C-alpha cells in the first residue's frame, strides 16, 4: 500500500467537524498526526475540549491536540461564533462529560511549522475553521509555505452567495485578514467553497440509515446531528444537511472527487463585502499594476462528485 498521507486537521468542532475527524480516523489512506484548534463554531477553549473528547470517543488519545489562537490575526476579539448552527456546546447540546486529556504545550502555529519541517512536502493541513492558525504559521516561519504539502481549505463562496451574509462564507468571515495571507502565500492551496459543499447533502433518509447501523461512530454522529438538521430545516429549503467539513476532508484524501481551476484569490477585508472571496482567472492581462499582480495562484474547486462523497462518509462511519 502507498505511504499514508500525513494530515493535520485544523478544526472548530462543530458537528460537521466531528464527522470529518471521525471520517479521517476511519480512512486507511491517511494518518492523522494531530489536531489543531480554532474558534468558529465554538470558542477556541471549547474547540480544544471537543477535539480531545472526540479523540477519546474514537479511542485515539495517542493523537496530539494543539490549541490555537483565541483572537484573529489582527488581535480582534469580537468573534462570530456559530453556536446557533451547532448548539452551545458545539456538539448538538449533548453535554458530554469533560475529556480526561489535555492539549500539548505547543501552540497550533508552532505545531504546524514543526511538523511541516519534520516531514517536508508530506503534511497536508485540512483547515476547517477560520484561517488564523495557518496565517500565524506562515508569518512565524518563512519556510512553512515550502515545507507544507498542501493546505485544503473549507472556505469561501466562489460565484455564489455566502452563508453569513450574501458576501461572505463563515470561515473566511471569521478572519478575512488571515485568509488573504493564506491565499496569497504561495503555498499549495486547494479551496473548497460552499459553492461545492452546498451540493453535498446528507438527507433525513441517509441519517436514518446511519442510525440503524451498528457503527459506533455513526451512532454517535446521529445523536449530535439533530441540532444541525433543525438549523438547516429552518435556514435553507433543503431536506438534509450540508456536509461541509467531510467533503473537504475527502477532497484532501482523494483529489479525483473534485475538479478545480487555478487563479489568484484575494479576500475583501473591509466594508459590507468583508469576507468576500474573489477569484481572478488570469484570462485577461491587466495593464495597470494592482494588488492582483504577481500573486501566486491557488486551486479553487468547481465540481464535486457528490454521490461518491455522501456514500464514502456514510460507509466509513457505519463501519466503525
Ligand X SMILES: O=c1[nH]cnc2c1ncn2[C@@H]1O[C@H](CO)[C@@H](O)[C@H]1O
Q: Site residues for ligand X, window 63-92 (CB under 6 A)?
A: 82, 85
Which residue stretch of 42-50, 97-105, 165-173, 263-271 sits at the interface with ligand X (rule: CB under 6 A)?
165-173
Residue nearest to ligand X (CB): 170
Q: Site residues for ligand X, window 183-212 (CB under 6 A)?
A: 194
Instruction: Give the residue with the Cβ less far from ligand X, 14 or 64.
Output: 14
- Cβ at position 163, least distance to ligand X in Å: 4
| Binder of ligand X out of 11, 39, 245, 247 (CB under 6 A) | 245
| Binder of ligand X out of 33, 170, 200, 267 (CB under 6 A) | 170
Active site residue 244: yes
- Cβ at position 300, least distance to ligand X in Å: 15
* Of the candidates 175, 295, 183, 170, the residue with the CA atom closest to the CA atom of residue 245: 170
Q: Site residues for ligand X, window 41-60 (CB under 6 A)?
A: 41
- Cβ at position 187, least distance to ligand X in Å: 21
The pairing of strands 189-192 and 201-203 is unpaired
- Cβ at position 172, least distance to ligand X in Å: 8
| Binder of ligand X out of 16, 67, 141, 180 (CB under 6 A) | 16
| Binder of ligand X out of 11, 133, 163, 248 (CB under 6 A) | 163
* Of the candidates 85, 48, 76, the residue with the CA atom closest to the CA atom of residue 178: 76
Q: What is the rounded CA–CA span in Å between residue 10 and residue 120?
A: 18
Q: Verify binding: residue 21, ligand X, rule CB under 6 A.
A: no
Sequence-separated (6 or more) residues with CB below 8 Å from residue 36? 8, 9, 10, 11, 65, 66, 67, 68, 108, 111, 112, 133
Q: 80 and 12 in contact (C-beta within 8 Å)?
A: no
- Cβ at position 5, least distance to ligand X in Å: 22
Which residue stretch of 65-73, 106-114, 164-172, 203-211 sits at the interface with ligand X (rule: CB under 6 A)?
164-172
Q: Verify binding: residue 169, ligand X, rule CB under 6 A.
A: yes
Place of cell 462529560: 97
Q: Verify binding: residue 10, ligand X, rule CB under 6 A.
A: no
Which residue stretch of 169-177, 179-187, 207-215, 293-301 sits at the interface with ligand X (rule: CB under 6 A)?
169-177
Which residue stretch of 59-67, 88-96, 112-120, 163-171 sits at the interface with ligand X (rule: CB under 6 A)?
163-171
Binding site for ligand X (CB under 6 A): 14, 16, 41, 82, 85, 163-164, 169-171, 194, 235, 244-245
Instruction: List the catalytic residues.
Output: 12, 244
Amino acid at each position: 500500500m502507498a505511504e499514508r498521507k500525513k494530515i493535520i486537521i485544523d478544526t472548530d468542532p462543530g458537528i460537521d467537524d466531528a464527522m470529518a475527524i471521525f471520517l479521517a480516523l476511519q480512512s486507511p489512506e491517511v494518518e492523522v498526526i494531530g489536531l489543531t484548534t480554532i474558534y468558529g463554531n465554538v470558542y477556541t477553549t471549547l474547540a480544544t475540549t471537543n477535539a480531545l473528547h472526540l479523540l477519546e470517543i474514537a479511542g485515539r488519545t495517542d493523537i496530539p491536540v494543539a490549541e490555537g489562537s483565541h483572537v484573529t490575526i489582527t488581535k480582534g476579539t469580537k468573534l462570530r461564533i456559530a453556536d446557533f448552527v451547532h448548539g452551545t456546546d458545539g456538539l448538538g447540546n449533548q453535554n458530554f462529560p469533560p475529556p480526561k486529556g489535555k492539549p500539548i504545550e505547543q501552540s497550533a502555529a508552532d505545531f504546524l511549522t514543526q511538523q511541516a519541517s519534520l516531514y517536508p512536502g508530506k503534511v497536508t493541513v485540512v483547515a476547517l475553521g477560520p484561517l488564523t492558525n495557518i496565517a500565524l504559521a506562515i508569518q512565524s516561519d518563512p519556510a512553512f509555505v515550502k515545507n507544507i504539502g498542501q493546505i485544503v481549505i473549507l472556505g469561501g463562496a466562489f460565484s455564489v452567495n455566502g452563508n453569513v451574509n450574501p458576501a461572505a462564507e463563515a470561515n473566511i468571515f471569521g478572519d478575512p485578514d488571515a485568509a488573504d495571507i493564506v491565499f496569497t502565500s504561495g503555498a499549495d492551496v486547494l479551496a473548497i467553497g460552499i459553492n461545492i459543499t452546498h451540493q453535498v447533502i446528507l438527507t433525513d433518509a441517509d441519517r436514518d440509515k446511519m442510525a440503524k447501523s451498528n457503527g459506533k461512530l455513526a451512532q454517535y454522529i446521529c445523536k449530535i446531528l439533530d441540532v444541525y438538521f433543525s438549523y438547516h430545516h429552518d435556514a435553507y429549503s433543503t431536506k438534509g444537511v450540508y456536509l461541509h467539513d467531510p467533503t473537504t476532508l475527502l477532497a484532501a484524501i482523494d483529489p479525483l472527487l473534485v475538479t478545480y481551476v487555478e487563479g489568484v484569490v484575494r479576500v475583501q477585508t473591509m466594508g459590507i463585502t468583508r469576507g468576500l472571496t474573489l477569484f481572478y482567472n488570469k484570462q485577461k492581462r491587466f495593464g495597470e499594476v494592482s494588488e492582483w499582480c504577481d500573486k501566486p495562484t491557488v486551486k479553487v474547486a468547481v465540481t464535486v462528485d457528490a454521490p461518491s462523497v455522501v456514500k464514502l462518509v456514510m460507509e466509513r462511519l457505519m463501519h466503525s
